[in-house]
Amino acid sequence: MAGILKYASTRDFGKLDFHTVDRSMSTSNVDILDSTMSSKTTSTTTTTNIKDDSNNNNNNNNNNNNNNQTTTTTTNNPSTSTTTLNEDDDSSESGSTLDIPKPSIDDMLNKIDESALAHLDKPASRKKYAHEDSSTPSWFKHSKHFLIFSFSGKPIYSRYGDEVALNTFMATLSAMSSFIESQKDELRHIKTGDYVFVYLHRDPLCLVSIANTGETPAIISRQLEYIHSLIVSMLTQSNIKAVFDAKYDLRDLLGGTDKFLDNLIKTIDKDISILLNSVNCLRLNYTPRNDITNIIQSNKHESVLFALLVSGNKLISFVKQKKYSLKPQDIHIVMNFVSSTSSFRESEAWIPICLPNFNNTGFLHLYICYILPDVCLLLFSALPESFYHLSNCKNLIVKEMESKGLMEELTKAVQNHGYTSAMTGVPHLLHFMYRSRTSYFSTSPKFTAPYSDKKERKRLFRLYQHIVDRVNNSCSKPHKYFYHTSRYETVIVAVSSTHEIYATFSPLETKQTVFESFSFLLQWIKDNESSLFLQ
């Protein structure tokens, strides 16, 4: 523990709170810690908080006491890992009915070599802060770190700085979690002064974020899950396990993919649809959208599992085979992947990709083609040799859309997809976000004054994060209404079985006007439902 304490003392962290899972944690845990602490830093006091996670939206953590057991079984027996590690019961069922080929490591390396890497932009000097590591003071100044390492403590990725130079720092982080683990427990987060260390254990990987942004551990933990999904989407969970067991260095396989991680980290820190665990739709009238969906539906090749038409991170149309479904997280992972790679814009592409919430053991094959400068068609197939079928099916779709004049309609829609809170005609409304609970679609207007300023925008986003966390993860009964007033704004939240709505007003408005405007807004959303969301 000396390394940890050295770090703790140099950073002058006043207080260390160990938040762990097991409720029946033995007191010896605290004793050992105390003795180690006191021998190094006398001013450090240790408190052990046992966190109540009964409302954690994370499925596989629901059973707190069994959690440790699951981890052990997965470490001991790699062959069962994929089933025990599946995050979502229904998705794993749907995935298992489908015969997805499970490639060997060599296969995977080939695939990554051949296709994915072929599309990567040149691995130029990508990192702004590559020269930094835990010995440079500037490294500690970043407000939000993301670090990924294996359970053995070997570095895989760091948002800032060179991960190899940071290897002792990551080893320290892994030692901290394995210390807790040796108490038959799991380290969730540590609070020290303004900083929070959030851990996510996904055997054989460990993801850590160190942040002083004021975000809650639950929110950061969700972000770490997104990042983990991204890694799984590139390698599959089975391959990550295999790579780890065979002692290949995971960094070799993830070579050149850092920019996807960098990009996703940036996106999750400002994307409202990800915050709401939902997908944003491109605003488009019902008739053209319906026409497009019908065209895709009627022309898609039989091997297509999912067909998505997207513009940036907005969904235009979504067609799927009846028995399968796609989670918002997977859609975001794919959209992030597509938008991070500019060379996809130039030609058709065919890449293996894993959808972690659909089936984390195998690759699907994704056909990517931009049919308009900002509109991209994505077709998923389980057959590696169906590229020409899908390319042909894209031609048919484009042809039919052109003949019906839908291309012009789409171009127009892409140009004016954004709307402002003023356009809703709701008095005093500054901003809002809406999420349907039945369909996982969300909508929100562009940030306009006073949130046109980047700093203000960030502040509102952080406020939303807190409120979303409060609304979704509160320990007591779920809230129906939530009213928050601060110096800068008033946010009112209403949650029903069908939707969540968060509306922001000036703090000077009275409660009455806020409530009146709020019902106006609800009506506006209802009236515009057909253009705001996919039906």
Give the residues lining the site for other proteins (CB under 8 A). Answer: 1-5, 32, 36, 39-40, 76-79, 104-107, 109-110, 113-114, 123, 150-155, 164-165, 167-168, 171-172, 175, 177-179, 181-182, 204, 244-249, 251-253, 255-256
CA distance 369 to 371: 6
CA distance 208 to 172: 12
Decide whether 259 or 484 has the Cβ nearer to other proteins. 259
CA-to-CA dists, residue 207 to 15, 88, 146, 164, angstroms: 22, 20, 7, 16
Name the minimum Å distance from CB 21 to other proteins.
16
Name the minimum Å distance from CB 248 to other proteins.
6
Name the minimum Å distance from CB 161 to other proteins.
14
Decide whether 111 or 300 has the Cβ nearer to other proteins. 111
Decide whether 98 or 117 has the Cβ nearer to other proteins. 117
CA-to-CA dists, residue 354 to 93, 169, 231, 498, 509, angstroms: 16, 31, 9, 31, 48
Question: Which of the 8 DSSP states describes residue 361?
Answer: T
* 495 within 8 A of 511, measured Cβ to Cβ: no
Name the minimum Å distance from CB 346 to other proteins.
22
DSSP of 168-228, one letter per residue?
HHHHHHHHHHHHHHTTT--EEEEEETTEEEEEEEETTEEEEEEE-S---HHHHHHHHHHHH
Q: Pairing state of beta strands 429-436 and 499-505?
A: antiparallel
Name the minimum Å distance from CB 77 to other proteins.
6
Nearest alpha carbon to residue 241 among 19, 24, 76, 357: 76
Decide whether 113 or 453 has the Cβ nearer to other proteins. 113
Decide whether 203 or 269 has the Cβ nearer to other proteins. 203
Name the minimum Å distance from CB 339 to other proteins.
24
CA distance 401 to 410: 10
Name the minimum Å distance from CB 123 to other proteins.
7
Cis peptide before 450 (omega within 30 of 0): yes
Decide whether 32 or 372 has the Cβ nearer to other proteins. 32
Decide whether 10 or 104 has the Cβ nearer to other proteins. 104
Name the minimum Å distance from CB 157 to other proteins.
13
Name the minimum Å distance from CB 40 to other proteins.
7
CA distance 201 to 68: 11
3-state secondary structure (DSSP) of residue 473: helix
Name the minimum Å distance from CB 165 to other proteins.
8
Decide whether 150 or 267 has the Cβ nearer to other proteins. 150
Non-local CB neighbours of 254 within 8 Å, separated by 6+ positions: 156, 157, 231, 234, 235
Non-local CB neighbours of 326 within 8 Å, separated by 6+ positions: 306, 318, 320, 355, 357, 358
What dihedral angle (degrees, nearest 10) is formed by the CA atoms of 209, 215, 217, 222? -80
CA distance 497 to 439: 12
Decide whether 231 or 379 has the Cβ nearer to other proteins. 231
Non-local CB neighbours of 465 within 8 Å, separated by 6+ positions: 215, 216, 219, 275
Decide whether 235 or 430 has the Cβ nearer to other proteins. 235
Decide whether 351 or 471 has the Cβ nearer to other proteins. 351
CA 530 to chain centre: 27
* 468 within 8 A of 219, measured Cβ to Cβ: yes
Decide whether 109 or 396 has the Cβ nearer to other proteins. 109
Name the minimum Å distance from CB 10 to other proteins.
14
CA distance 151 to 206: 6
Name the minimum Å distance from CB 170 to other proteins.
9
* 260 within 8 A of 234, measured Cβ to Cβ: yes
